[in-house]
A and B are shown apart, each in its own frame.
Chain A
Amino acid sequence: MHELSIVSSVVDTVTESLAAYPGARVLEVRLRVGALASVVVESLEFCWEIATEGTALEGSKLVVNVLPVVMHCVPCGEDVTLEGVQSFRCPKCGEPSFDLRHGRELEIEAFEIDEMEVAEEKV
């Protein structure tokens, strides 16, 4: 339900960072979203076009990289990756754990810009 505000926040952050690249056109924005982030990827994509309209990000592609939950299993002595979010037990030994190492991420990883347009602007 709050995907539009998340997307708007992404647009604002990227727009701020673009100040260092005057005239650049954004081609792609990459997000890292954990399986426990409470965000629906389809909704993010749906909101993207609306939120980027009239900004330097208009026409860019949104790429969402969904990360699985990784937790630390004490008996196994290692970090294990869960297949889903329906059970927080080690897939190897079955021991429950609440020592999460990944899965709550909600971040902008990177964005890609067209540098030619930056150069052209400078000419």
Chain B
Amino acid sequence: MTTRIVELRRGILKKNDELAAGLRGRYTAAGVMVLNLVSSPGTGKTAFLELTLKEMRARGTRVAALVGDLETDNDARRLAASGAPVRQINTHGICHLDAEMIGKHIQDWEGVELGGLDYLFIENVGNLVCPSSYDLGEAIRVVLLSVTEGEDKPLKYPTMFNSADAAVITKMDLAVPCGFDRTEALKNINEIRPGIRIFETSVKSGVGIEEWLGYLEEQRAGRGTQSERPAR
């Protein structure tokens, strides 16, 4: 028996990466800054995004959101109450959003043109593992962590935290009753992703929201919609 080795050296997620690169080009051309929000289920992505959309609209900023869930359009209905255009993506069992799903939902989104937006938020499926592998062409990946989840979440899910550009701690109003060790949490986030910008927020008390909105403005003004993300 003679055997032959065939060298391939091909990325397994090459198709997604190519589609994401195409999307990134479209976002840049349209002048829209795209953010990908990732976290565990129950961290409060939707509540955080609801307030973000509402506050940004009040300032005259043109925003829209795509929201991914396995089933139901509950989150889309909640977010739509802000008045912003919102579209639900149901993955029917798939544990993450991918570039193909985003492309498809942007393509035939009635009444929404990328060129007419300043920011597009993509709320990913609640999962701290799989979404980290799928580039959606976003300029900024935001990982959220709630005070009820434990300070060691970044150590348990290093890939997701390491691949993020900004971190948001949610439910800070519950920090005291939950015995949340803030110093430890900040240290763990920094250990996994040195130098990352961290926002400590609560949608109930409003703490940290101004700082977060300021960051969004700053990012858009500072670099337009160009992504500084390393290629994945």
* Cα-based distance from A6 to B133 in the complex (angstroms): 11
B232 pairs with A115, CB closer than 8 A: no
Task: Identify the closest chain A residue to B128 (Cβ).
Answer: A38
Docked complex Cα distance between A5 and B98 (Å): 12
Q: Chain A contacts of B95 at CB under 8 A? A: 1-2
Complex Cα–Cα for A9 and B11 (A)? 10
Residue of A nearest to B191 (CB): A87
Interface size on A, residues (CB 8 A): 37
A8 to B3, CA, bound (A): 24
- Contact call A98/B3, Cβ cutoff below 8 A: no
B134 to chain A, nearest CB (A): 8
A80 interface residue per 8 A CB criterion: no
Residue B59 CB within 8 A of the other chain: no
Q: From B10, which residue of chain A is reached at the shortest CB distance?
A: A108
Those of B76-102 within 8 Å (CB) of chain A: 94-96
Is the pair B230, A100 in contact by a Cβ cutoff of 8 Å? yes
A2 touches B130 (CB 8 A): yes
Instruction: Give the residue name and chain of the A residue nearest to B11 (CB).
Output: A107
Q: In whole angstroms, what is the CA distance A88 to B12 when docked?
A: 25
Q: How far is the CB of B132 from chain A (nearest CB, A)?
A: 5
Q: Is B40 an interface residue (CB 8 A)?
A: no
Q: Is the CB of A21 within 8 A of B6?
A: yes
Does any Cβ of A come within 8 Å of B31's Cβ?
no
Chain B: interface size category = 35 or more
A104 at the interface (CB under 8 A from B): yes
Contact B232 A104 (CB under 8 A): yes
- Cα A100 to Cα B155 in complex, Å, equals 17
From known contacts A36-B162, A85-B158, A86-B158, infer whether A6 and B12 are also in contact, taking CB-CB under 8 Å: yes
Cβ–Cβ contact A37 & B159, under 8 A: yes
B:1-53 near A, CB below 8 Å: 1-13, 15
CB of B162 within 8 A of CB of A115, answer no
List B residues at the A interface (Cβ < 8 Å).
1-13, 15, 94-96, 127, 129-130, 132-133, 155, 158-160, 162-163, 190-195, 230, 232
- CB within 8 Å of B: which residues of A? 1-2, 5-6, 9-10, 13-14, 17, 21, 27, 31, 36-39, 85-89, 96-98, 100, 104, 106-116
- Could you give 22 example pairs across A and B, Cβ below 8 Å? A1-B127, A1-B129, A1-B130, A2-B96, A2-B133, A9-B13, A14-B8, A21-B6, A36-B158, A38-B132, A38-B133, A86-B192, A88-B194, A96-B191, A96-B194, A104-B232, A107-B9, A108-B10, A108-B12, A110-B5, A110-B9, A116-B1
